[in-house]
Amino acid sequence: MCDCIFCKIVKGDIPSPRLYEDENFIVIRDINPLCKVHDLIITKKHIKSVNEIEKDDEKIFASLFTVAKKIAAMENMSESGYRVVVNSGKDSGQAVPHFHAHVLGGEDLKGKLQGM
Ligand code: 5GP
Ligand code: ZN
């Protein structure tokens, strides 16, 4: 059995309200928000990090930034701005080994969250 927390959320084994869902991604709010808006775009497929993305996965990631743009619009950040962050591997501080992109904003982030 897969012991991955994000796989459990994707499968619905751990309930987590979805802001958005399509064939490749779900989007949920981060459980420990680092700023006013902190959402996570999570692949439905278990891919450990950017480093494990295979050629075949390119079709999944083609829409990643348009999903981020949709989330920014839903969260009213299109005009004010936002940050999209992907940690990959040990030195980045990646804590959950299942691909996710952070979408952060809702406040002025200049000079903030540099160590996330
Ligand atoms: P990473 O450091 O891997 O880039 O970020 C992992 C993020 O996932 C963290 O911001 C953490 O708060 C969030 N997170 C970890 N477990 C859960 C969970 O069970 N539910 C939600 N919504 N977020 C989680
Ligand atoms: Zn997983």
Whether 102 contacts 84, CB under 8 Å: yes
Task: Give CA 19 to chain center in angstroms.
Answer: 12
What are residue 82's DSSP bridge partners?
105
**How do the pLDDT tens digits run along the chain, 116 residues long?**
679 999 999 999 999 999 999 999 999 999 999 999 999 999 999 999 999 999 999 999 999 999 999 999 999 999 999 999 999 999 999 999 999 999 999 999 999 998 78
Please tell me the pTM assigned to this model. 0.98
Which ligand sits nearest to residue 3's alpha carbon?
A: 2
Measured over the CA atoms of residue 43, residue 45, residue 46 and residue 49, the dihedral's sign is negative
Please name each of the domains of the chain with its CATH number.
5-105 (3.30.428.10)
Whether 105 contacts 75, CB under 8 Å: yes
Which ligand sits nearest to residue 44's alpha carbon?
A: 2
Catalytic residue among 38, 98, 100, 102: 100
pLDDT of 41 reads 99
Residue with tokens 């084994």: 13
Which of 96, 98, 100 for mutating ligand 1's site (highest number of atoms within 8 Å of CB)? 96
Active site residue 100: yes
Q: How far is the CA of 110 from the centre of ligand 2 (A)?
A: 31
**What is the per-residue DSSP string for 41-104?**
EEESS---SGGG--GGGHHHHTTHHHHHHHHHHHTT-TTT-EEEE---SGGGT--SSS-EEEEE
**Ligand 1 atom 20: the closest Cα is on which residue?**
31
